[in-house]
Amino acid sequence: MRAIDLAAKDLTQLVRDWKSAVFLVALPIVFTLMFGFAFGGFGGGQQDARLPLGILDQDDGPLSAGFLELIKTSDVVRPVVEKGSEAGLEKKVRDADLAAAVLIPAGYGDALLAGTPRRLIVIAKQDSAGQTALAEVQAAATRLAGSVEAGRLGAQAYEDQARLSPSTVKGLADEAARQQFMLQAVERAVAAWKTPPLTVEVRQSGAVAAEESSVVQSGFSHTSPAMMVQFAIAGLIGAASILVQERKTRALRRLLTTAISRGEIILGHYLAMFVLILAQLAVLVAFGQLLLKVPYLREPVATLLVMVTTALWTAALGLLIGALAKREEQVILFSLVPMFVLSGMGGAWVPLEFTGKTFQAIGHLLPSAWAMDGFENIVIRGLGLESVLLPAGIMLAYAVGLCALAAWRFRYE
């Protein structure tokens, strides 16, 4: 009961300070909106997510145009018509502006029609994106070559029929007419690839379809949980400062003359930080759900579990900061440095799945990465309660460890 009274005192003191409201609610909302709109806002899920494939057409003929039409039908790569040189393409691939690039050499179409095809020049890295784009280029080139071969066989069949029945079928007048016949056949074949007669339709069960339809992707699906995790740490500045002020004014030492114990003092301050952060997360979750349409409440129990465990470890971090800091300036330093490190390394700024394996492994040594995993399993990946049990368990372990360390370092003066 004494610990609850102490927590209530801390919370009353924090509520009276308008700067706490700025750090806890106003700033995370502003940054969520700013970065969310930068990543596409409400329409972020409608952006073309295909890999950019640069195409430099030096042939500029009907067959190179047919290759471009085939690439446009890809679900994996998005053609980007380039002007310049092969060196320019290499630079864009090296700088990751393009996943890969294709140079169609001059004479490519004529060589295909003559039956002596020239090779396309493909520039790609030895990474997953580059090799995926390379596979799509090979598929399109194979389809085009097959279309040309079909045209050649069609022209041969037509001429054979003209020789067998010269009275009813007229042959091709010359080589130009033959090529024109083949080009028409290729054009029809390329058009046929856009709507193939045989397709595979994949259907999901109604339960899975209903589950996935509730997950709405937007530019806020990452930034909303990211800013919650980041500013949960920033919000500890005011709470940790209370401990420093009480130590400086010797209020903590005077508490020794009362019936309250050392453990109750530590618990009281910890409860205040926990309630403060949990309330902050609740407000930001409500804001994200109601105004930004981030589907936190599609799994309310899972969301609550991630919120509680996030509040537990951040409050424990705040208690440790309050135990270590000797001045208010140190509280700011000890809060902001972990905020930037935990946010940057934990995937709040850039999703960890977009980084390398080494960075991901290092990031998951931090509780912030598990907090991001928990929230994004719900709002981005559409997973349920089972998916947040591991992140919640790891965050709880961090909370216990940080609390133990804070209790060990706690001083009255």
Domain of 236, in residue numbers: 2-40+218-409
User: Cα–Cα distance between 265 and 2 in angstroms, integer?
Assistant: 8
CB 328, CB 244: distance < 8 Å:
yes
Which one-letter DSSP state was computed for residue 37? H
Evaluate whether residue 212 is within a structural domain.
no
User: Cα–Cα distance between 312 and 331 in angstroms, integer?
Assistant: 19
User: Cα–Cα distance between 349 and 344 in angstroms, integer?
Assistant: 6
pLDDT of 225 strictly over 80? yes
Verify that 254 and 342 share a domain, yes or no. Answer: yes
Residue 329: both structure tokens together:
């300036």
Helix intervals (H) in 165-250: 175-194, 206-213, 220-234, 236-248
CB 81, CB 102: distance < 8 Å:
no
Evaluate whether residue 130 is within a structural domain.
yes
Determine the pLDDT at residue 370.
95
Verify that 177 and 86 share a domain, yes or no. Answer: yes
Verify that 383 and 273 share a domain, yes or no. Answer: yes
Verify that 119 and 254 share a domain, yes or no. Answer: no
Determine the pLDDT at residue 83.
85
Evaluate whether residue 361 is within a structural domain.
yes
* pLDDT tens readout for residues 50-62: 788 999 998 888 8
Q: State which of 128-142, 150-164, 236-250, 287-301 shows the largest mean pLDDT.
A: 287-301
Query: What's the length of the chain?
Result: 413
Evaluate whether residue 186 is within a structural domain.
yes
SS3 assignment, position 166: coil
Verify that 335 and 259 share a domain, yes or no. Answer: yes
pLDDT of 296 strictly over 90? yes
* pLDDT tens readout for residues 136-176: 888 888 887 777 777 666 656 556 565 655 555 455 555 56
Verify that 110 and 32 share a domain, yes or no. Answer: no
Verify that 84 and 6 share a domain, yes or no. Answer: no
CB 214, CB 381: distance < 8 Å:
no
Closest CA to 293 of 377, 217, 388, 227: 217
User: What are the respective helix, strand and coil percentages of the chain, to the nearest 5?
Assistant: 70, 5, 25
The enclosing domain of 112 has a CATH number of 3.40.190
Average pLDDT over residues 173-182: 61
Determine the pLDDT at residue 13.
74
Rg, the chain, Cα only: 32
Verify that 319 and 384 share a domain, yes or no. Answer: yes
Verify that 77 and 145 share a domain, yes or no. Answer: yes
> In the sheet that 100-104 helps form, which strands lie side by side, from edge to edge?
77-81, 51-57, 100-104, 121-124
Verify that 12 and 90 share a domain, yes or no. Answer: no
Q: What is the mean pLDDT of the chain?
A: 78
Verify that 14 and 130 share a domain, yes or no. Answer: no
pLDDT band at 198 (very low <50, low <70, confident <90, very high): very low
pLDDT of 1 strictly over 70? no
CA 55-60-64 angle, to 5 degrees, is 60
Average pLDDT over residues 60-70: 82
CB 134, CB 51: distance < 8 Å:
no
% of residues, the chain, pLDDT over 90: 19
With 0-12 CB in 10 A as exposed, 13-18 as middle and 19+ as buried, what is 211? Answer: middle
Instruction: Tally the domains of the chain.
Output: 2
* pLDDT tens readout for residues 84-143: 888 888 888 888 888 899 999 898 878 877 777 778 899 988 877 788 888 888 888 888
Determine the pLDDT at residue 204.
45
Evaluate whether residue 206 is within a structural domain.
no
Q: DSSP string covering 366-406, please?
A: SHHHHHHHHHHHHHTS---THHHHHHHHHHHHHHHHHHHHH
Evaluate whether residue 396 is within a structural domain.
yes
pLDDT band at 199 (very low <50, low <70, confident <90, very high): very low
More reliable by pLDDT, 61 or 399:
399
Q: State which of 219-223, 329-333, 384-388, 389-393 shows the largest mean pLDDT.
A: 389-393
Evaluate whether residue 203 is within a structural domain.
no
Verify that 224 and 367 share a domain, yes or no. Answer: yes
